[in-house]
Chains A and B, each alone.
Chain A
Amino acid sequence: MSASTAAATRRPPPWRDVRVLRVALQALFLLAVVSLVLFLLDNLVFNLRRLGIETGFGFLDQPAGFAIPDSDFRSSQSVRAAIFQGARTTLVVALAGIALATVLGIVVGVARLSPNWLVRRTAALYVESFRNVPVLLIIIFLYLAVFLRLPPIGRAVEWVDVFVLSNRGLVVPSLAGTGSTGPFLAVVVVGLAAAVATWIWRTRRFDATGQPHHRVLWALGVVVAIVAVGFLATGRPYGLSLPERGDLGVAHGFRLGPEYAALLFGLVLYTASHIAEIVRGSILAVSRGQGEAADALGLSPFQRLRLVVLPQAFRIMIPPLANQYLNLTKNSSLGIAISVYEVTKVTRVSIAQGSPAPQAIAILMLVYLVISLSIAFVTNLVNRRLALP
């Protein structure tokens, strides 16, 4: 008996022990990868030094020397400030693009399943044409063939102070702060908080008593009332800035430039065609029994879509949608082809003006990594909230 228990607890020698081997091989592999990375880094540093190119990140403090249009950036500011300005543009394009592409994609995706033949065919035509063309071509086409063909500034289309349309952009009235805007913004925040509170109150009341909640109307009413009172009480701190057409451009107002518009709409049209296919696939993946049950309950087709099918389809479509959002963000770098100063263009210009390429591109990749990870994080949260328990 003592012999058998001794045999059961005796370990095999290390070179035959599978537990040791597992750990040892993984450790060796990790060491090999780390050594390779260090070798490559060392090679890079050696070659940069040999060429006399700096190997540090000091270039970030150098003055940029180039201007960035449509911004407050001055050429005497540092390269770091230029990269931040570019990153801000990328972020705005990405967020606006994601929002617009999602809306358009859902509409077209649902349209592809419409019982109406014309609607269905038009949606299919849109999806097939835009999905199969490289997005760069869509962007360049929109710019060269659509937006540049608008009338030049001398023959701009204008409508009495409301908008001015030319190939230098569409200018609409904007809000301009005329006094101290701080107190008003505080009032706006208070108004939004009150609206959220109202929404929750009305929903609770509906849950308790069953009476219609009209929560959207209530929340909107609360916000509008508080903001209006605050606006008058703080002395009307915002005024309308109306566009005035000059010979070379339009002063005041908010301008949507042709380059920016071409990039944004190109990205939206392309990504929406992909999102439409994802939406269509997700709707088809919801079991038919759900749709039939909704019909049996007497729901109209719109109610069936809105209350039964789409909520279940959303759960399925979140991961592929996240993928499309990341693609859109990265595709925004195609703005370099039409002079949109997003972060890739700013980095390339600064490299051409003397910043060392390896470090600058590493920073560029880091910017995209941060933006992409944030988008992925948010979509993961949504995914987890919607997941079946």
Chain B
Amino acid sequence: MIYLPHTHEDIFSMLQVLGVDNLDDLFSTVPEDCRFNGHLNLPEALSEWELNDHMSTLSHTMAVSPEYKVFLGAGSYEHFIPASVSYLLGRSEFVTSYTPYQPEMSQGTLQAIYEYQTLAARLLGMEVATASHYDGATALAEALLMAVRITKRKKIAISSLIHPLYRRVVQTYFNPTGYEVVELPYLNTGATDATGLDEMDDLAAVAIQSPNFFGCIENLQALGQKTHDTKALFVVSFTEALAYGLLKNPGSQGADIVGGEGQSLGIPRSFGGPALGMLASGKKHMRSLPGRLVGKTKDLDGKTGFVLTLATREQHIRREKATSNICTNNSLCALAAAMYMASVGGTGIRKLARLNYDKAEYLKKELKKAGFAIPFDRPTFNEFVVEFPSGFEATHKHLLEKNIIAGLCLAPFYPELANHYLLCVTETRSKNDMDALVREVKS
């Protein structure tokens, strides 16, 4: 087997050194009644060439670009990834190295992640960003737990326009804690209804997503103000990181902690994972942050170098009192995001984000012209909700056969919104794609 270099001679001579006769004897400390003496019932080994065929067959069943025009966002976005990023990400020194606990031989990872932390902080308008979490949902859950730790209060309010699956994850994390989670309803404008906050004075945090699940841009400044009036921390989440290439970032709007998804930044959708949880806060809360942090320092010769720092927050030192249990994070995804942000650049990201916005606006306009209702009038970024006529389900299904996925049906998540669909347009959808979609839904 090509990944097992030992020859018979190697094994024989090593067993001799150990004074045992065969490999089985090495397991003498495993009691007989713990031993499994059968054969594992798994498929026989494939050659590399058979594996290629097998996986190729599986992958060809998947509905992806360019054969399919997928107008789906909802937490996972199709964006162009430069060849340079994919190429650099294949460097095995990045791919096959471990967490940089031995900094002298990991300066590549450490500088790269320090750069990621910096760019992430700048994107979100915050002072400190961590080295990554699993995804936007867990980053949000960690942000809320962090707020509870800081304020020592036991209740949080989350907008019902936060991604439904993110809310589910937050509930799952909060279930055993005994902390209370209340949901804020939404207005018919497509924004969060925060009037209920007036009655709440015992909140650790208020969490708002912007752009929200309907694609609408929330009035973060006003919501932040209202949150701070209750003495709670303002937690802002997001699923489409590219939005902040154009829109006012959460930090500038009063966010205390930000926890969202960075998949749009150079990471392929990959059926939902691995993703990139982005978490950021102000310096004053730095020691309450969960997850790894890279810091800049100097070596014995005075040269600049980077190390993991503030490790006393983490599980390997603080154990049950750690700020989180996280050990392995999504470092390579953070690296991809840094490479992407470096490639797109400050000038480029504004243009790219603007292109996303304009394309989505075009589709919105065309659908309006074709007689379909746009129920929410809050401005949107690259996703928006359309209300199709009753019975659209059949049309949606029919369009699948034409290789068009016309948005995500909202009814399973918001039963009151029958026939409402969430459509997403990024820079990857052409005007022709959109015209074809409009043509098809009209007929």
Pairing of A with B: no
Chain B residues within CB distance 8 Å of chain A: none
